[in-house]
Amino acid sequence: MAISSQTARNLGNKVLIRPNSQTKGIVSWLTTVDHKRLGIMYLVASFLFLFTATIESALIRTQLIRPDNNFLNPEVFNQMFTLHGVTMVFLAIMPMGTGFANFLVPLMIGARDLAFPRLNAFGFWIYIAGATLFYSSIFLGGAPNAGWFAYAPLTSLSANPGNGIDFYMIGLFLAGIGTLSTAMNIIVTIISMRAPGMTLWRMPMFIWMVLITMFLILFAFPPFTIALVQVIMDRTFGSLFYVPEQGGMPILWQHLFWIFGHPEVYIIILPAFGAISEVIPTFSRKPLSGYPIMVFSGMTIGFMGFAVWAHHMFTTGLGPYGEMAFAVTSFVIGVPTGAKIFNWVMTMWGGKIRLTTSMLFAIGFLVTFVMGGITGIMVAISPLDAQINSSYFLVAHFHYAMGGGALLGFMAGFYYWFPKFTGKMLSEKVGRFVFAFIAIGFHTVFFPQHFLGFLGMPRRIQTYADGYGFNTLNFISTMGSYIALTGALLLAYDIIKTMRSTDRKAPNDPWDARSLEWSIPSPPPVHDFDTTPVVTGQDTFWLEKYPQFKNISNKEEAEITKLSKESDKHGIHMPGASWWPLIAAVALFFGGYAVIYDNILLGLIMFGLLLFSVYAWAFEGVGGYYVKLDSDGGKQ
Amino acid sequence: MPKIKWTRWSLLFVVTIVLVSLSGCASTNIQSWLSPSGIIAKKQLSLLTYTSWLGSFVLAAVIIAILTAVFISFKKNSDELPVQSHGNVAVELGLIVASIALVTAVAIPTIRAINDLRIDRVPVEDALIINITGYQWWWQFEYPDSGILTANEIHIPRGKNVIFNLDSADVLHSFWVPKLAGKKDLIPNQRNQLWFATDENTPLGIYYGQCAELCLGAHAYMKTRVIVDSPEDYQKWVDSFTTKYSFASNPEVAKGKQLFTQKGCAACHAIKGFSSGSPDKPNLTNFGLRNTVGAGLVASSKDNVAAWIANPQAMKPGNYMPTLWQEDDPNRDEETQAIAAFLLSLGKEGETQASMGGSNGN
């Protein structure tokens, strides 16, 4: 083994020189394993996709602005809402949560990186690979057109002979590999790399929510991946899982998809819950109310999330007892979600509230999410769902939950942590307008859609005839999407302006915040913490600033301090950068095209490249370097 | 304080949206389930009304609590740190118990409604059975008891339960006639069932519906009409399918009849007593009794039917009906008018015309 690992290391180093701490420029970004850089790359990519999906939604709304419109033809319209849905769910909001987690998890638990830095880089590159492959379909014969949940048998070769569906299946398959590997990475990090004194019950709520989310990913993605592989096999090798003409069972796709798809909703929303749970206490200058209830309600939501999938399928014929079971399990989720809502309100109650842009988004989130939750209960009433399902009421409901809920929550987090990410402060003045445009635009788009559902307008219709009473409400809804788009443009403008400015420097702790990431400079140095933090309670940084609230024995504090000193004894070791995660992702990317175009030669070459890069990755050695601090704590 | 000012403006804006939305549903509502006619749809609406009240109450409570918290905080106006409370166990438990109670208050009527609406307790022997097969992008209806095979529009007798057996020939579809009942999906290789219940409070006439599950292509144009007849009118409609056909003899109809075979229409479309067609294409028997052409697309006036035959793709992009005339064919108008005249004459002889349900559902 010694010989082979030595050989591989030499071979690898001959092919590509391993970057070191002196490497600068584009190569240093391509090979980086730094959680902060990867977090920022995740956030940049997810915001670009968010913007793309917003433009797609504006195009969809423009088509629906008046009856019998011909702005987009049916095929383009189908592709557009498929792109919009897939982009929002898989390429924008979910990676946004991963981006926040990537940047913040080590900082908030007092670690210096994730447990597996190169795996983290691989997770990011394979997400980019999957997203790029998915979007390349636009230029290669048309995007997928079967909606974001791609119900069989719309995806079968007979119903959908073009390549679009292949791009959906392979693109999400690749992106899913990244999501899974990052989930494992973050779980290991949170479980085993917390600073001395950071017991589970002292973790910030954001960390708890991220931990639960990552476990959800771990259990939710396998069934989805199985379903994707089945369709890929049907389309590429002629298997018959979902081919009705040959006796396939299309309904199976819906079960597998929603066993993934419902937890996916919580995968999207729980990190936003976490962000809100940091924002509201900080801007109320109070600790989070009901911390243990918040933790357990998160766990309950996550656990129950696996027991409700068939409520997406009430109209497929579950029978009365199936309907009763899945209606009741769905109602049960209302209780822990309600507990979260009133604990956030109770946190504000009696606090010293500062209405920063971040806090405005948090309040906007609360109201919007409650509305989404209430309509969620309605949708779970199966006899009522028979009218609601697949109508515009449902479109309104899930946008209130995922768009108004998760997205507004992430916007609160974005305004809150932007100084830490970049070292610059976004404009509070512009921020108010961004909030007003996005919140008002959002409600103008989606509130009238509840009523379109009552009027009998099904979702995903490319156009509607005059005389059904759909006209006015659709017009209002479309206007709303332009208002929201204006808000998005304003935000983009402010981000660019802030990044180019020199006078908006952020201090370490601009908000008088509570958790560890605010104890270090903005943006943090490459090694995050000069000394391993000493954690003395929940909201440990707040306790450092206001020691009168400390509730810890001197003995325990001394022990924790000792542990922290001990862990610094060996110096600060930074992980080595690597080319191999990127190359492995590139191999999988082209391998995806090999499957789509049935090119065996390309497939074999890419499989070889993948094996080689994993081998070289495994044996390239630890690498990295030690950060040496001078007496003032600065980096030499 | 400037913040309060724009809060007020946005509030005004939101109220406007709510009001316009509410007024929007009062105007035209031919497909709206807010004014239901069937017994099932009425039951479904009552669940909506009930949960809307409960939900509005919860939403109002949350909004009032948030606003109060903000206003109390602004009034205090001191730099002192607030009490660092980690929560109040009594309030916490109280609110959890309250939410369990709320959820129970929704669960009980839900389970009762599921039980009331269950299809396996509908007596089959008294019910009218209709088999629906979904095709891209039209509906085939079969009445197994009377042997009627028709497309896109059905007649049902008021006061009799109707049980639909749902199948799909290609992809997923969903049969939805909002005023009569909620939807049910049509899934290949899986037979589903749906039922309609009507009584003397159900107005006679036309009920609008459309496909509610994405089926690509012309999904937006896959519509249907259900005509609720009095039992007497329904019987006349059924009888019109069993009478012996003598086709009208006016020269245009005769020409259309000839062209129907000549142009190849008869290869796909079955007409009872005339052509056998293909079983997976729309059956045109008694076409003259239908209200629309192209699966609920447009009213079946002679001009509309002729335009549909001349260029189906222009009216319903992506559908599978071939275009049989060149754009510049000099005979196109005359020939398609003749075929339209022939089709519209079908079923119109004798007393059958009287069975037409006239006005719409309201």
Per-residue model confidence as pLDDT tens digits over A59-106: 999 999 999 999 999 999 999 999 999 999 999 999 999 999 999 999
d(CA A81, CA A75): 10
Q: What is the pLDDT of residue B298?
A: 92
pLDDT confidence tier of residue A568, bands split at 50, 70 and 90: confident
Residue A315 pLDDT greater than 80, yes or no:
yes
Statement: B2-120 belongs to CATH 1.10.287.90: yes
Higher per-residue confidence, A235 vs B6:
A235
> What is the average per-residue pLDDT within A595-617?
95
Chain B CB within 8 Å of residue A447 CB:
yes
Q: What is the pLDDT of residue A23?
A: 77
- Six-digit token pair at B117? 């609406």
Residue A636 pLDDT greater than 60, yes or no:
no
Residues of chain A with C-beta less than 8 angstroms from the C-beta of B96:
293, 335, 338-339
How close does chain B come to A339, measured CA to CA in Å?
6
E strand or H helix at A181: helix A164-192
d(CA B306, CA B340): 5
Per the CB < 8 Å rule, is A469 touching B28?
yes
Class level of CATH domain B251-346: mainly beta
Listed range (A31-40, A578-587, B18-27) with the worst mean pLDDT: B18-27
Residue A97 domain flag: yes
| Three-state helix/strand/coil letters over A384-440 | HHHHHCCEHHHHHHHHHHHHHHHHHHHHHHHHHHHHHHHCECCCHHHHHHHHHHHHH
Most confident of A17-31, A310-324, A566-580: A310-324
3-state secondary structure of B319: coil
| Three-state helix/strand/coil letters over A85-146 | HHHHHHHHHHHHHHHHHHHHHHHHHCCCCCCCHHHHHHHHHHHHHHHHHHHHHHHCCCCCCC
Residue A596 domain flag: no
Residue B356 pLDDT greater than 60, yes or no:
no
| Mutation site for A-interface testing, chosen from B31, B112, B119, B320 by largest number of A Cβ within 10 Å | B31
Which residue range is the domain that position A60 belongs to?
A: 31-578+620-627
d(CA B213, CA B220): 10
How close does chain B come to A120, measured CA to CA in Å?
35
- Six-digit token pair at A265? 């909703």
Residues of chain A with C-beta less than 8 angstroms from the C-beta of B85:
286-287, 289, 350
- Chains A and B form CB pairs within 8 A to the count of 315
A165 with A150: CB under 8 angstroms? Answer: yes
How close does chain A come to B277, measured CA to CA in Å?
22
Residue B359 pLDDT greater than 90, yes or no:
no
Chain B CB within 8 Å of residue A189 CB:
no
Q: What is the pLDDT of residue A224?
A: 96
Number of domains in chain A: 1
Q: What is the pLDDT of residue A14?
A: 67
Domain-by-domain residue ranges, chain B? 2-120, 251-346
Q: What is the pLDDT of residue B357?
A: 35
pLDDT by residue (tens digit) across B233-267?
Answer: 999 999 998 876 666 678 899 999 999 999 999 99
d(CA A487, CA B10): 15
Q: What is the pLDDT of residue B353?
A: 36
Instruction: Count Cβ neighbours within 10 Å for each residue of B338-362 and write b for 16 or more, e otherwise.
Output: bbbbbbbbbbeeeebeebbbeebbe
Residue A364 pLDDT greater than 50, yes or no:
yes
E strand or H helix at B184: strand B181-186
> What is the average per-residue pLDDT within A263-276?
96
Q: What is the pLDDT of residue A5?
A: 58
User: Which amino acid, B327?
Assistant: E
Residue A374 domain flag: yes
Residue A304 pLDDT greater than 90, yes or no:
yes
Chain B CB within 8 Å of residue A318 CB:
no
- Six-digit token pair at B221? 């144009």
Residue A58 domain flag: yes
Residue B143 pLDDT greater than 60, yes or no:
yes
Residue A589 domain flag: no
> What is the average per-residue pLDDT within B298-309?
94
d(CA A200, CA A194): 9
Q: How far apart are the first and last CA of chain A?
A: 38
Q: What is the pLDDT of residue A12?
A: 62
pLDDT by residue (tens digit) across B13-53?
Answer: 767 766 766 665 455 689 999 999 999 999 999 999 999 99
CB within 8 Å of A591: residues ≥ 6 apart: A602, A603, A606, A607, A610
Q: What is the pLDDT of residue B71?
A: 93
Residue A144 domain flag: yes
| Among A196, A207, A201, CA closest to A532 | A196
d(CA A84, CA A399): 12
Please provide the average confidence, as pLDDT, over all residues in chain A.
93
Torsion of CA A27, A32, A37, A38, to 10 degrees: 120
Q: What is the pLDDT of residue B218?
A: 93
CA B212 to chain CA centroid, Å, is 8
Residue A300 domain flag: yes
Q: Are strands B223-229 and B205-210 parallel, antiparallel or unpaired?
A: antiparallel
Residue A549 domain flag: yes
Residues of chain A with C-beta less than 8 angstroms from the C-beta of B170:
153, 158-159, 244
pLDDT by residue (tens digit) across A481-524?
Answer: 999 999 999 999 999 999 999 888 999 999 999 999 999 999 99
> Residue B137, preceding bond cis, omega within 30 degrees?
yes
Please provide the average confidence, as pLDDT, over all residues in chain B.
88
Residues of chain B with C-beta less than 8 angstroms from the C-beta of A288:
86
Residue B358 pLDDT greater than 50, yes or no:
no
Indicate which CATH number applies to the domain containing A245: 1.20.210.10
pLDDT by residue (tens digit) across B318-355?
Answer: 899 999 999 889 999 999 999 999 999 998 764 333 33
Model confidence, pTM: 0.93
d(CA A297, CA B143): 52
Higher per-residue confidence, B77 vs A54:
A54
Chain B CB within 8 Å of residue A69 CB:
no
> What is the average per-residue pLDDT within B205-213?
96
